[in-house]
Structure 1
Amino acid sequence: MESCLDTVADEWTLMQVWLITEILLQVVGRHLMSTPISALVFGEPDVRYDAS
């Protein structure tokens, strides 16, 4: 049987994991969208493939 403190510690750990995951997703997303190749791959409106 878990004590109340164990439950709080588990919830705190999950919240920390969620926060770190969210921060990493934002950092990676910003980095990806700031490179020219990813802009082409992810289809930003002003980026087009030039066949010439």
Structure 2
Amino acid sequence: MPKKKSFPLRIDPKLYEILQKWANDEFRSVNSHIEFLLKEAAKKAGRLPGKSKDE
């Protein structure tokens, strides 16, 4: 498995709280939930293999 890239992320505290609750509902850490959401958005936009913009 390739090493993951680390980087700082500044985020609005209210948005973080929402993401934290959402991640808990999905049994994920906030970090893994943000990665999941970004991957889904990239797939939907046709930027990653798996789903195209038209699906």
Question: Into which bin does the TM-score normalised by the smaller protein fall?
Answer: 0.3 to 0.5
The structure in which a higher percent of residues are helix is 1
In the superposition, the TM-score normalised over structure 2's length comes to: 0.36
TM-score, structure 1 as length reference:
0.38
Larger Rg: 1
